[in-house]
Amino acid sequence: MGFVSKKEFDEILTQLKRKKGLDGTGSDITLDDVRIFAKEIVEMEIARHAADGLGMVDYALGSGGGKVVKHSGAFKKAKSILPRRSESHKMLEPSFGQPGECFALEGSVGFVEIRLRTGIVPEAVTLEHVDKYWTSYVLPLN
């Protein structure tokens, strides 16, 4: 990621002028106006690309208030005499598709119940999973 080019800045300035209802050269725009407008743009882009890069807001993210309420059995790597803390919160953390950075469920069928911070009308539901090739042939079985 680099600096904003002159062309990109001019486009941003044009949007700001439209928002403020100005037709002039920009002399009526203060530095505070630019800061506020830039902050709005940054917040909007962060919300659009939060965690999964799909360009949609992820309401189930743990950092956004999502919580795992119930789920089917968790995959256990090895028997242990010490009790393990549930790591179900990992389901709602961005992992960027890295193998092993997940909360694995046991078997080929399962469920997850997630409580959101607030009510929404879903437009889409996405599920991220590492490619089967990596889980079947490349990753070591511990």
What confidence score (pLDDT) does residue 103 get? 75
102-125 residue pLDDT tens? 777 788 888 888 899 889 998 888
Q: Where are the domains of the chain?
A: 6-48, 60-142
Concatenated DSSP letters for 54-97? SSS--TT-GGGT-EEEEESPBP-SS--SSPPPP-GGGGGS--TT
38-49 residue pLDDT tens? 888 787 767 666
Confidence (pTM): 0.48
What confidence score (pLDDT) does residue 1 get? 45
pLDDT band at 138; cut points 50, 70, 90: low
What confidence score (pLDDT) does residue 47 get? 65
pLDDT band at 92; cut points 50, 70, 90: low
